[in-house]
């Protein structure tokens, strides 16, 4: 779940601020060069960041399923490029791009 802090960092990089109780009402804006984002802007950014995170779930699934680099090199050495490619493609097929 995307936090309000992540949304503020995304909207206003390097801004100076503090927050209490992890909600917008507790946001104290300390930056003199950037304007404080509105609650609507923060909520929209949380939704955007969450959608982006959710859309990349397949990447996290693949990363966890890929064999270690040692095992991949062993497959290359003993089975050749086609065997390695087949083992990687099986994971890509299991977790297709764009699937949750």
Q: Per residue in 24-70, pLDDT tens?
A: 999 999 999 999 999 999 999 999 999 999 999 999 999 999 999 99
Residue 31 forms part of a structural domain:
yes
Which 8-state DSSP code applies to residue 25?
G
Question: Residue 68's pLDDT is what?
Answer: 97
Task: Decide: helix, strand or coil at residue 36.
Answer: coil
Task: Decide: helix, strand or coil at residue 31.
Answer: coil
Same domain, 8 and 51: yes
Residue 71 forms part of a structural domain:
yes
Residue 100 forms part of a structural domain:
no
Q: Give the total number of structural domains in the chain.
A: 2
Residue 32 forms part of a structural domain:
yes
Residue 62 forms part of a structural domain:
no
8 A C-beta contact, residue 50 and residue 1: yes
**100: confidence class by pLDDT, cuts 50, 70, 90:** low
88: domain range?
67-94
Same domain, 8 and 50: yes
Residue 23 forms part of a structural domain:
yes
Q: What is the model's pTM?
A: 0.78
């Amino acid at each position: 779940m995307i936090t309000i802090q992540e949304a503020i960092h995304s909207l206003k990089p390097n801004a100076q601020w503090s927050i209490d109780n992890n909600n917008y009402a507790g946001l104290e804006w300390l930056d003199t060069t950037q304007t404080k984002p509105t609650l609507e802007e923060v909520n929209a950014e949380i939704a955007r960041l969450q959608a982006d995170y959710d859309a990349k779930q397949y990447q996290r699934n693949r990363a966890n399923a890929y064999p270690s680099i040692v095992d991949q090199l062993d497959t290359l050495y003993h089975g050749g490029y086609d065997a390695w490619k087949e083992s990687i493609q099986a994971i890509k097929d299991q977790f297709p791009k764009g699937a949750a």
